[in-house]
Amino acid sequence: MQISITKNPNPGKMPPSDKLGFGSIFSDHMFLMDYTDAEKWHNARIVPYGPIAINPAASVLHYANEVFEGMKAYRWADGSVHFFRPMENAKRINISAERIGLPQIPNDIFVEAVREVVKVDKDWVPSGEGTSLYIRPFLYAIDPELALHGIHQATFVIILSPSASYFAEGIKPVKIMLETEDVRAVRGGTGYTKCGGNYAASNRAGDRAMEKGYSQVLWLDGVHRKYIEEVGAMNVMFKIDGTVVTPSLENGSILGGITRKSCLEVLKHWGIPAEERLLSVDELIGAAESGKLEEAFGTGTAAVISPIGELAYKDKKYTVNDFKIGPVAQKLYDELTGIQWGKRPDPFGWTECV
Ligand code: PLP
Ligand code: COI
């Protein structure tokens, strides 16, 4: 792919690691590429980070035809920079694009675009403990027409944000509230995709949970309001009576997380029993009450492994593992972050040098 590069004449300065937070500071450059039915993907360019002009009639502003990805670049101790399973993000953005009716991006073009923009802004990959360059590729429809119709014009953008941990708690346990009113997704809907609309529909419940002192909500399935699905920005795993249980993806209402998939592969490699299956809220609460709920944690690119120390359901609160990170969550955290930051061997071949 031919990519033109316009250097930022006013480069910024990366704040110290302890001032990074998550997703609020951006690097000097961004990648853009245009799509039309006639020209297909064209005009790939890396330009200074800044506002993007958009027609007020652009489809995305009215009908939310947008999908995105979340991935990271990690700085290793020797200064080199590495990705974690970038092809998985390429495949997933195309699964999302297909569902929303957006044009797909060839997987190798997606990975090349991410690689080239990260190369230009390599100095923005932070090196502090637990920090990385969060990469946000996104794709949206710009057809300037209010009639409902297929998408013929789109824009693909990649922005980069040096970040620390997603939750202010870091790897300390978070409090999560089971949501009993709003639902996020249903079978046949868009739950399995990373489309912006899923997050818009989730906001109200998330805000209410935060007002009550919880970090995020744990969604129940949209039909029976009975089965555990996922948390706002992460998949969930529970260790119940010695077995790790995570909701299966079969219903099509849960995002197939790359961290989730990696954890399942690592658990299998270690011989720790793990099951993907339906998990009802009654079974989960029953396990919490009988002492069989040994651990609960979320998995995600931004969230990494986030232990859950408290679950709230219908005015009752359940403390998990004395509000401490459990041994399986800790072992997974150490292994995944060890591979990602090059501190441990990578037997699965998941990292790629930028
Ligand atoms: N579920 C939701 C709704 C998410 O937004 C995310 C974050 O990307 C995840 C799960 C975890 O996915 P991954 O591990 O690929 O980051
Ligand atoms: C990620 O983990 O990459 C995500 O996209 C979560 C996001 C909602 C912050």
The residues facing 61 across adjacent strands are: none
d(CA 226, CA 279): 8
Q: In the predicted model, is pLDDT for residue 333 greater than 90?
A: yes
Model confidence band, residue 165 (pLDDT cutoffs 50, 70, 90): confident
What's the longest Cα–Cα distance across the chain?
A: 62
Tokens 């912006």 label which residue?
196
At 77-95, the pLDDT tens digits run 999 999 999 999 999 999 9
Nearest CA to ligand 1 atom 11: 300
Q: Please, what are the domains in the chain?
A: 4-163 (3.30.470.10), 174-340 (3.20.10.10)
d(CA 229, CA 226): 9
Nearest CA to ligand 2 atom 6: 233
d(CA 301, CA 194): 13
Report residue 60: phi and psi, to 5°.
-60, -30
Instruction: Determine the distance separating the centroid of ligand 2 and the alpha carbon of 165, expressed in angstroms.
Output: 11
Stated pTM of the model: 0.97
At 171-198, the pLDDT tens digits run 889 999 999 999 999 999 999 999 999 9
d(CA 113, CA 115): 5
CB atoms within 10 A of CB 207: 10
Q: pLDDT above 70 covers what percent of the chain?
A: 99
Q: In the predicted model, is pLDDT for residue 322 greater than 90?
A: yes
**DSSP 3-state of 109:** helix
Write the CB contacts of 20 (distance below 8 Å, at least 6 apart in sequence).
126, 128, 131, 162, 163, 164
Cβ 233 under 6 angstroms from ligand 1: yes
d(CA 118, CA 125): 8
At 191-219, the pLDDT tens digits run 999 999 999 999 999 999 999 999 999 99
Q: Please name which ligand lies nearest the alpha carbon of 95.
A: 1
